[in-house]
């Protein structure tokens, strides 16, 4: 019988930390119970030297089938917003706080509906995210939504209060914003405004990266829980 998991992905970390080794090890992860029903582990993707890392919540239905992050509806919205912010997705490392799809089956349609991961599942999966951040060492991490933000910044972090600002985390500087799926769910009349605000946050990230390139010391040292918005 498939077990509920060991309690932490740390039990499955490989002895060498390279992206291919991590990806291969994560494919066999049983750190929490989510591996039991999902199709496969959806590991992060992108250049090993990416300066920007994007962290979502967990793969969705399409990501679970395809084995790649952000390829479904949220991914299309994300791609468009990145483009509007002048960020080339091919240069970005894209991953999730939780690497397996969590869902409930809708009774009549049998459709698999996204279910928010539990705190314990986010914690169990964090070693993969930490390992990815350690290898890639991005100058900036953008957390998409509260699951990613809280995985990186702790349970008290509130995206609603702190979105669009660069703050320090154990994994490096983080800018938190909303999750693209929240924009997809927004009612028609607020959706366009939500989307513009999302693009604005990504633009702040792009500018912050450009400044960090011009003055690399900045990337090492936004260590105050920075209140300074660069907007």
Smaller CB separation from ligand URA, 74 or 150: 74
Q: Tell me how many degrees the CA angle 147-151-155 measures, rounded to the nearest 5.
A: 85
Report the phi/psi class of residue 172: left, alpha or beta, with left for phi > 0 and alpha for psi in -120 to 50.
left
Cα–Cα distance for residue pair 161/178, rounded to 1 Å: 11
> From the CB of 160, what's the least distance to ligand SF4, in Å?
26
Given 99, 112, 163, 179, the residue binding ligand SF4 (CB under 6 A): 99
Given 50, 87, 124, 141, the residue binding ligand SF4 (CB under 6 A): 124
Q: Strands 140-144 and 166-169: what pairing?
A: unpaired
Element of type H or E holding 180: helix 180-185
> From the CB of 107, what's the least distance to ligand URA, in Å?
23
> From the CB of 43, what's the least distance to ligand SF4, in Å?
8
Does 74 participate in binding ligand URA (rule CB under 6 A)?
Answer: yes
Quote the radius of gyration of the chain (alpha carbons, Å).
17
Residues in contact with ligand URA, shown as a per-residue x/- string from 169 to 188 under the rule CB under 6 A: ------------x-------
Which residues in 221-230 are b (16+ Cβ under 10 Å) and which e? ebeeebeeee
Beta bridge partners, 95, equal 55
Smaller CB separation from ligand URA, 9 or 148: 148
Q: Are 222 and 169 in contact (CB under 8 A)?
A: no
Q: Could you report how far apart the first and last alpha carbons of the chain are, in Å?
A: 53
Does 164 participate in binding ligand URA (rule CB under 6 A)?
Answer: no
Given 96, 150, 151, 195, the residue binding ligand URA (CB under 6 A): 96
Does 199 participate in binding ligand SF4 (rule CB under 6 A)?
Answer: no
Could you say which residues in the range 12-41 bind ligand URA, by CB under 6 A?
none
| 75, HSE (Cβ side, Cα atoms, 13 Å) | 17
- Binding partner of 63, given ligand SF4, ligand URA, none, CB within 5-8 angstroms per partner class: ligand URA
* Contacts (Cβ under 8 Å, ≥6 apart) of 70: 54, 56, 63, 78, 79, 94
Q: Are 148 and 178 in contact (CB under 8 A)?
A: no
Choose the stretch contacting ligand SF4; rule: CB under 6 A; options: 124-132, 143-151, 159-167, 186-194.
Answer: 124-132
Could you say which residues in the range 19-48 bind ligand SF4, by CB under 6 A?
26, 29-32, 34-35, 41
Residues that bind ligand URA (CB under 6 A): 56-60, 63, 69-70, 72, 74-75, 96, 181
Residues that bind ligand SF4 (CB under 6 A): 5, 9, 26, 29-32, 34-35, 41, 98-100, 121, 124-125, 128
């Amino acid at each position: 019988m498939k077990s509920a998991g060991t309690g932490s992905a740390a039990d499955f970390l490989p002895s060498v930390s390279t992206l291919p080794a991590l990806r291969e090890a994560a494919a066999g992860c049983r750190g929490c119970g989510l591996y039991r029903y999902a199709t496969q582990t959806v590991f992060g993707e992108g250049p090993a030297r990416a300066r920007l890392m994007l962290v979502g919540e967990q793969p969705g239905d399409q990501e679970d089938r395809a084995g790649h992050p952000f390829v479904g509806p949220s991914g299309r919205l994300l791609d468009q917003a990145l483009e509007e912010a002048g960020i080339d997705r091919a240069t970005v490392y894209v991953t999730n706080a939780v690497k397996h799809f969590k869902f409930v089956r809708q009774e009549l349609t049998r459709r698999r509906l996204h279910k928010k991961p539990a705190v314990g599942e986010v914690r169990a999966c964090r070693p993969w995210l930490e390992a990815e951040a350690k290898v890639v060492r991005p100058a900036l991490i953008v957390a998409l939504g509260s699951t990613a933000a809280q995985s990186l910044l702790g349970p008290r972090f509130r995206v609603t209060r702190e979105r669009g600002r660069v703050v320090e985390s154990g994994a490096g500087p983080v800018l938190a914003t909303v999750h693209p799926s929240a924009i997809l769910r927004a009612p028609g009349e607020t959706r366009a405004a939500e989307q513009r605000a999302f693009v604005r946050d990504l633009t702040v990230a792009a500018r912050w990266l450009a400044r960090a390139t011009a003055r690399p010391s900045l990337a090492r040292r936004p260590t105050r829980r920075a209140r300074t918005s660069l907007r």
